[in-house]
Amino acid sequence: MPGTNLTREEAQQRAKLLTVDSYEIDLDLSGAQEGGTFRSVTTVRFDVAENDAETDAENGTGNGTESFIDLVAPTVHEVTLNGDRLAVDEVFADSRIALPGLLEGRNILRVVADCAYTNTGEGLHRFVDPVDDQAYLYTQFEVPDARRVFASFEQPDLKATFRFTVRAPEGWTVISNSPTPEPRENVWAFEPTPRISSYITALIVGPYHAVHSVYEKDGQRVPLGIYCRPSLAEHLDADAIFEVTRQGFDWFQEKFDYAYPFEKYDQLFVPEFNAGAMENAGAVTIRDQYVFRSKVTDAAYEVRAETILHELAHMWFGDLVTMEWWNDLWLNESFATYTSIACQSAAPGSRWPHSWTTFANSMKTWAYRQDQLPSTHPIMADIRDLDDVLVNFDGITYAKGASVLKQLVAYVGEDAFFRGVQAYFKRHAFGNTRLSDLLGALEETSGRDLRTWSKAWLETAGINVLRPEIETDAEGIITSFAVRQEAPALPAGAQGEPTLRPHRIAIGAYDLDPGGKLVRGERVELDVDGELTAVPQLVGVRRPAVVLLNDDDLSYAKVRLDERSLAFVTEHLGDFAESLPRALCWASAWDMTRDAELPARDYLALVLSGIGKESDIGVVQSLQRQVKLAVDSYAAPASRETLLTRWTEATLAHLRAATPGGDHQLAWARAFAATARTPEQLDLLEGLLDGSQEIEGLAVDTELRWAFVQRLAAVGRFDEAEIGAEYERDRTAAGERHATSARAARPTEEAKAEAWASVVDSDKLPNAVQEAVIGGFVQSDQRELLAPYTDRYFEVLKDVWESRSHEMAQQIAVGLYPAVQVSEETLRRTDAWLTSAEPSAALRRLVSESRAGVERALRAQAADAR
């Protein structure tokens, strides 16, 4: 039985047989306020290829053609195929409706079903806002969840037009891919969409607040809309969102030479969203945490802007032209990531011209980490079925792919790259493609053969390490310079072989200027290939204070500093005049810490020596997170408390010294709250909450208050009375999540048992609340209290995986893994479970990734103890 899975072979066979023309989907959502189920009526018109002996053989019949359509529904009332009513109990099973006896040429299918609202963020999600007690709905269909709302051929290459007709409660709004019509008797009848894939169709329904505008340029006019719940309307900075959106329209349309392909562009901030956003054609859904209720740093606005631009780029790459099958998911996401950051960096008027610094510091760090897990895979992954793709939204798909695309742009030239992209859009508009279609277009415009490049970069796994090898004479003049490339062994269990790759890199030579800033003197750009590449351009040059490989971050590789450069950087990392080389050095140091080449105590010392000079707030916040992880997981247990004390004292000192009211002050307040530990430090948190203490310029607003409350709960200072009182101040959905997390964080056996039961023993929690409980339950300084839950985790894991939806099960599988129990016993317990439980490939991958984190922490702790 297939369950809810679909294999690539099944999809290929169905695509060979069927051409889908149109869907007409009628949904009765008039009972949405009460929940339960809703009536779904789907009429599909599709053509069947001419029947022949080969087709008969593939379908196992010589007396007609058969296929299936996908549907996940509690009840199916009627299946009518070409006027004949089929027996539901005979054709509907296991998320599929069998379609026997298909006619050559046109077929018409009608399916009447009761489908279910969800609280998991999949299908048609229903949320009730505690502020107004109103229900708010939205769809999330990627990867295979349109079938939870209507019967569909659930694969990206069976495109069709979609006409939605929706009945909703009076006074509500209904938004879809097509422009919103005027309702008649609470029925919204939308015009058909262009030919698109089922996973980018969308419905957003409820009494949403809306702000409207328009994008106009050179005679083009695109209506723009921004939506959120009324309870968030006072915080919605629509003008700032429209500004970023218009910059994206200008930049993408110029670079792509193809007008925005849909009739309008709505952005809808929706509750309890599992991802950052989703590129539904003309109706992008975005997590409503991006409507900031409290003061945030500029880094948060930069991340939101990147998300907005990422989804807008998808309107062309992903929606207009769509992958044939999910093995090219990486290209879909990598292209959107690369172009969104390129737009932030280059668009006139952008607030974030240094966005590549953020990319190097955050996205590539994510990629490097993912690429060293046992689940590492080629960028162009082998996606055998839907289970594979569901766990493949990872750092390789997004960040490594974008890094390699950035390198490809440098390799073929930016002008040639975008000329190729322009030809690609025009050639394949509203169709489906493979990677070879894009590479072919780029070969045409650049004149380069990309087959070798593709094989080396897209079809192999793992990461290279680049090290400088420098010799000088007695006067400090370089007599020999080379770049050594290494291909470390892939992690145990990973498929493939270590591979040396061609890299296009820059080498920067940095010295202190008279003002004490590290500035670049020499820059050499070259191709690195093979084990050792000589760099004659630097021979005869006086050795600089710092030699930085992969300067400007052109390639994807781990970079190491030579011994002299590392020593100088340790004292002067904060003195780089530009943010990108600082970020590259910070990233190198962090990677060395993770690889047990730099002890955690030395990483802490390095951060403390340079973070005070770091001006980029995004880098500062990343360093704060990394230090906490290093001390919690990579420090030798015997010295952990000493390092935590040193770090917490430093956070408080930086908090008090920061510019009042600035981003750095807020970042340091959060970092301090995360590890406050002494009675005096905890007294300060309480005093800031009740107003008896102040720090000049620090606004202790709603979100910061919750950060303080959660820490005070985790150390046992606050219990239900204090948590409940804080919730009374903030009786919102966000407040409910924060209170739930604080309750789960309390350091008592009773609190942990209650939290565990609410997640594991019950399946009633909504996705966002379950995530909050797990986040509160796992506290790194409660290892002894959490120790009994290691065995409990492995006892229930397989049952949870098989009984919950993918999103909910993945939260539990990853979030409750005993990652804080860094010990050989945790590895043995994990290995025993992997051997005996026979988990699915997807679950095995998630658990193996978590196990790798413990194994890495053990190596780092050993290095720190030496």
- The pLDDT tens digits of the residues spanning 444-458 come to 999 999 999 999 999
Q: Which of 279, 311, 324, 771 is catalytic?
A: 311
The structure's pTM equals 0.95
61 pLDDT more than 60: no
Percent of the chain with pLDDT over 90: 94
Three-class secondary structure assignment of 728-752: HHCCCHHHHHHHHHHHHHCCCHHHH
**Which amino acid, 245?**
T
- The pLDDT tens digits of the residues spanning 298-316 come to 999 999 999 999 999 999 9
234 pLDDT more than 70: yes
What is the mean predicted confidence (pLDDT) over 718-728?
98
264 pLDDT more than 80: yes
Please check whether residue 146 lies inside any domain of the structure.
Answer: yes
> Number of folded domains in the chain?
4
Claim to verify: residue 804 and residue 856 sit in the same structural domain: yes
Q: Which residues pair with 267 in a beta bridge?
A: 226, 284
d(CA 171, CA 168): 9
Q: Which of 436, 461, 486 is the last residue of a domain?
A: 461
Claim to verify: residue 392 and residue 369 sit in the same structural domain: yes
Give the CATH number for residue 387. Answer: 1.10.390.10
- The pLDDT tens digits of the residues spanning 401-434 come to 999 999 899 889 999 999 999 999 999 999 999 9
Claim to verify: residue 292 and residue 408 sit in the same structural domain: yes
Please check whether residue 12 lies inside any domain of the structure.
Answer: yes
DSSP state of 463: -
Claim to verify: residue 529 and residue 425 sit in the same structural domain: no
Please check whether residue 772 lies inside any domain of the structure.
Answer: no
Claim to verify: residue 494 and residue 589 sit in the same structural domain: yes
Is 311 an annotated catalytic residue? yes
Q: Can you list the alpha helix ranges (DSSP code H) found in 81-202?
A: 88-91
Claim to verify: residue 449 and residue 392 sit in the same structural domain: yes
Q: Which of 443, 461, 479 is the last residue of a domain?
A: 461
Of 332, 306, 329, whose CA–CA distance to 318 is shortest?
332
Q: Give me the chain's average pLDDT, please.
A: 95
Of 223, 120, 235, whose CA–CA distance to 175 is shortest?
223
Please check whether residue 101 lies inside any domain of the structure.
Answer: yes
391 pLDDT more than 90: no
Please check whether residue 150 lies inside any domain of the structure.
Answer: yes
Claim to verify: residue 189 and residue 246 sit in the same structural domain: no
Claim to verify: residue 329 and residue 187 sit in the same structural domain: no
Please check whether residue 587 lies inside any domain of the structure.
Answer: yes
Say if strands 18-28 and 161-167 run parallel, antiparallel, or are unpaired: parallel
Beta strands in 12-74 (DSSP E): 18-28, 37-48, 65-70
Claim to verify: residue 453 and residue 471 sit in the same structural domain: no
How long is the chain?
A: 866
Claim to verify: residue 340 and residue 419 sit in the same structural domain: yes
Percent of the chain with pLDDT over 70: 98
Q: What is the DSSP string of 290-301?
A: GS-SS---HHHH
Please check whether residue 339 lies inside any domain of the structure.
Answer: yes
- The pLDDT tens digits of the residues spanning 466-510 come to 999 999 999 999 999 999 999 999 998 887 899 999 998 999 999
Please check whether residue 270 lies inside any domain of the structure.
Answer: no
* Confidence (pLDDT) at 58: 52
- The pLDDT tens digits of the residues spanning 656-690 come to 999 999 999 999 999 999 999 999 999 999 999 99
Claim to verify: residue 14 and residue 43 sit in the same structural domain: yes
Give the CATH number for residue 28. Answer: 2.60.40.1730
User: What domain range is 420 assigned to?
Assistant: 233-261+287-461
Claim to verify: residue 181 and residue 239 sit in the same structural domain: no
d(CA 789, CA 754): 13
Q: How confident is the model at residue 112 (pLDDT cuts 50, 70, 90)?
A: very high
- The pLDDT tens digits of the residues spanning 169-193 come to 999 999 999 999 999 999 999 999 9
Q: Which of 536, 568, 595 is the last residue of a domain?
A: 595
- The pLDDT tens digits of the residues spanning 813-835 come to 999 999 999 999 999 999 999 99
* Confidence (pLDDT) at 62: 40
